[in-house]
Structures are given as C-alpha cells and as structure tokens.
A and B are shown apart, each in its own frame.
Chain A
Amino acid sequence: MSGVQRRADWTGGEPAIVYQHCEACGHVQYFRKAFCESCGAPEPAVKQASGKGVVYATSLVMRAATPETRAHVPYNIVLVDAAEGFRMMAHGDRDLAIGDAVTVRFERFTDRLIPFFQKSK
C-alpha cells in the first residue's frame, strides 16, 4: 500500500493531518518515518486524523524572526493533543485556552498551508 504510505498532508501542501499507527505495538506517532519510533517495526500505517483535539499549550508570537513571518504577527502557536493520541504544533485562534476542545481548518501562513485550530462548535 505504498500509495497510502505517501498520503499527503499539510507539510506537503494538502489540507490534511496524517499520523502513523504501528500495528505491531499500537504506538501512535506524528513525525512521519519509515519505522515505529517505539518498537522499530517497519512501515507503520499512515492514517488521516479527524482534525479534532484538545489544546495542550499556547504561545502568542509577537516578535517574529523573518520578514515573511513578521507580516503575520501576532500569531498564536498551539500544541494540540489530537483525538487519535498524538500531539502536534499548529496555529490557532487567539482566544484559545488550555483544555479547549478544538477543530482544525487550514490557513495560509507565509507561502504555506498550515493547520489552524478553532474552538469546536
């Protein structure tokens, strides 16, 4: 199922979040690699995430380091615990608080498409 293994996500410009699930040990991981980071089993399954989660941490960036990112200041960087059991970094609405249930949409940031979380309705 190499087609599935190559499933595109926001890091490749597609409006999706994908993660990997190891069928050998059950470990869930977000940074995609050719093996399970927990048990080493090859080619953990690539799955699409629901885009739902809970806010773990937030930081509103007021001082950016490049002209491209400075145009977006202030932007809220968040860590979200995804419903599927992995944690990810993304952007989010400025009113997000730790513990908020959130849902993803995708926004433009510099020349990239990035995951952007808002409070779940």
Chain B
Amino acid sequence: MSFITGVGLTSYGKHEGKSTLDLMSEAAALAITDAGLKRGEIDGILCGYSTTMPHIMLATVFAEHFGIRPAYCHAVQVGGATGMAMMMLAHHVAEAGLARHVLVVGGENRLTGQSRDASIQALAQVGHPAYEVPLGPTIPAYYGLVASRYMHEFGVTEEDLAEFAVLMRAHAVTHPGAQFRDKITVADVMASKPVASPLKLLDCCPVSDGGAAMVISREPTTDVAIRIAGCAQAHTHQHVTMIPAFDDMGAAISLGRAKAASGMDVGQVRYAGIYDSFTITLAMLLEELGLAARGAAAAMVRSGHFGRDSAVPLNTHGGLLSYGHCGVGGAMAHVVETHLQMTARAGDRQIQHDIPVALLHGDGGVLSSHVSMFLERVR
C-alpha cells in the first residue's frame, strides 16, 4: 500500500526572479510539512524536467540543493503526464520498500524564465523532427487537428468546447492561487483570439510559473489517510501523425488497467482530476474515461455536471486552463486539489459531499501517454 501523506502547491502565474529550483523547493517544503515529516525523513525523490533548466540529472541537482541524500532518486519524463507517472512510480517504490517517504516534485519558471515564443517553440519539438516540425505546427495545432476530427466524428461544436473553459474559470475564480480569476462566458471564449483552429486563446491553457509536490509514503503520517488504490498507464504513439482511431485511444486503455489494478470502477468516483491542457483534451478525456458519453460531455457541463455542487466535481482549483500550467507541476495541482477535497481542507471551495473515491488522469504528448489512478480515503 501507499498513501499520499502530504501535498504542497504554490500559486501559478508570474513568480518573477524565481528559478526552477526555487519553485520546486517551495512546493517540496510545503508538502513535507503537510505530511508532518522532517526534511531528513524523505528517503526517495522523483522529479520531472524543466524547459528553463535542462539538466541530465535534475533529481540529484534538486536533492543536493534541497539538502537531502536520498536512497532512491531520479527524474522522469512523460510530458504532461510526468506528475502522474511519478506518483505511480512512487507508489510502487514505496510498496516495494525501496523508500519510506518519496517526495514527488515539479516546478518551473516557464513563464518568466523564457520568452513565450521560446516556450511554444520548445514544446512544439514533441513533433516529428523530419515529418512534422518543418511544417511549423505548434502544440495548439497538434490538438487543433485532433479537435477538428473529434468534432467531425461526434458532432461537437466550438461552443461545446467553450463550456469547459468557462467551467474551469468558474472554479478558478474561488482559488486565490489561480493564474486567471476573472469570470468568463462562452461568448468570451468564442470571441478570443484564434490560435490554431478550432482552438482559440481561451481554449488553451496558459504558460505559468509554479511548483507542486507531494509525499507518497508506505504508511499514513496524519489523521487522514488517502490511499493510492491502483494506477496504470498506456502509451499508444508519440506523434499526432500516428494517433490511433478514437475507438482505440490510450485513455480508455490505461483506465481499464487502473480499474483492474484497483478493483474500482468509475461509478464509485465522487471527484475527478482530469488533464485539461486544452478544452478538447478535457472533452475527449471525460468521454474516454466514461465520465460522459461520446460527444455528450459539453451538454453535461451545461446542465450542471462537473461543477462544485455536482455528483462528480471536476478540477475545482481551475485546472490547467485557469489555475495554470507550469509543465511538470501543471497537472500535479490537480492531485493537490483532489487531496485537499478528499481530506476536507479545501476551505471556501470545499465540496459538500463525502469523497471516498477519486479518479485522476494525466496525458502527455498529443494524447500519447496516459496515466490513470484511483484514490481512496481509508480514514
């Protein structure tokens, strides 16, 4: 067994003058304190990567900087799915007895540490260097291609996609750490600047500075205990040119494996933390994961589903779309929020119903790499 014993999250947005290591350190310190542990009790460290601080040994750079000499320590790279993949690995490292308390940490000054163009350009390199990148695609264009096809096959409209941006913003409005906290409407999304059709500016997550961390332990360290009940991955392709048909995509495959690993089902889920790099990402993943029928997720949002007062609230911190996206830490904010909600520590944002089971899902690349995870509150 393994438990998420502590979580830490900075605000997302601009952190002028702060480095990758600063943001990682802030989040890590918060998570360790939250777990009721001392820095020296951390004996495992997993971290991701930073586009503003490329390094072949980021985990040990961080460990030295932070003042820890761990028994187990290395970096993980799965794009946007990195945070969830690190959690999955930490779960297995803890279960195997390789470490008692594994610190999972991500952080980056992605917004202020480089120009927006540099950031967009760096990320576009996930494309094929010979067959895609010379054509001038951007990450929004990769997802724009997927969106155009998904909308064509399932009758989804741009107004439908806009609903997800509006929902995430409505959630972010109540979180003081969110990058964007001004309420928006479907009309605002529709009128926002075109980026890569059918995606407009407000369909896209921002570039942010920020850090997030958690501690995964073999035993609970506090009064509440959130167990990682089971998790799994699926990797179907890297490049959008090689994306499989919509009836054979990775999210459903990884979910199926996570169900088998946990013995749980989506019907038990009372909170969802789902990757939302773009509105289309969120629409597709909700439908892939069985939280909505094909092509029906937007209609569910319109009728009140996935809001804070609904049966399955979604990304109540505002998600990547409005809380922000600092790279590896981006989707770790979903995990932090899920933990706060499950342990009834979300303050003004607290969901009124009990959350015995939550579902997390991360996606990296262009719906390339998937990690699904069920969490269970056991006390």
**Residues in A lying within 8 Å of B, measured CB to CB:** 11, 30-31, 56-66, 69, 72, 75, 77-79, 87-91, 98-99, 109-110, 112, 114
Contact = CB atoms under 8 A, between A and B. Distances in A.
Interface in B127-147: 128, 130-132, 134-138, 140-142, 144-147
Contact of A57 (B124, B146, B199): B146
Given A59-B196, A65-B120, A65-B124, A30 B241 contact: yes
Contacts, number: 105
B310 interface: no
B136 A58 contact: no
Contacts of A77: 135-137, 141, 144-145, 196
Interface residues of B, number: 34
A11 B197 contact: no
Contact of B132 (A75, A89, A98): A89
25 contacts: A30-B131, A31-B128, A31-B241, A31-B242, A57-B149, A58-B148, A58-B197, A59-B140, A59-B199, A61-B196, A63-B138, A65-B117, A65-B124, A75-B136, A77-B136, A77-B141, A77-B196, A79-B241, A89-B132, A89-B135, A89-B240, A109-B134, A110-B136, A112-B134, A114-B134
A79 B148 CA distance: 11
A85 B205 CA distance: 35
B5 to A, nearest CB: 40
A59 to B, nearest CB: 3
A62 B128 contact: no
Contacts of B144: 59-61, 77
B117 A66 contact: yes
B241 A66 contact: no
B304 interface: no
Residue of A31, A59, A77 most packed against chain B (CB within 10 A): A59
B362 to A, nearest CB: 23
A60 B196 contact: yes
Given A63-B120, A89-B131, 14 more contacts: A31-B241, A57-B146, A57-B149, A58-B148, A59-B199, A60-B197, A65-B124, A75-B136, A78-B145, A79-B149, A79-B240, A87-B241, A90-B135, A114-B134
A60 to B, nearest CB: 4
B36 interface: no
Contacts of A69: 136
Nearest to B143: A59
A88 B128 CA distance: 11
A19 to B, nearest CB: 11
Nearest to B201: A63
A109 B132 CA distance: 13
A11 B141 contact: no
A63 B195 contact: yes
A88 B148 contact: no
A62 B134 contact: no
Residue of B135, B137, B152, B240 most packed against chain A (CB within 10 A): B135
A31 B132 CA distance: 10
A89 B241 contact: yes
A58 B130 CA distance: 20
B197 A59 contact: yes
In the A-B complex, the 4 residue pairs with the closest CB atoms = A59-B144, A69-B136, A65-B120, A60-B197
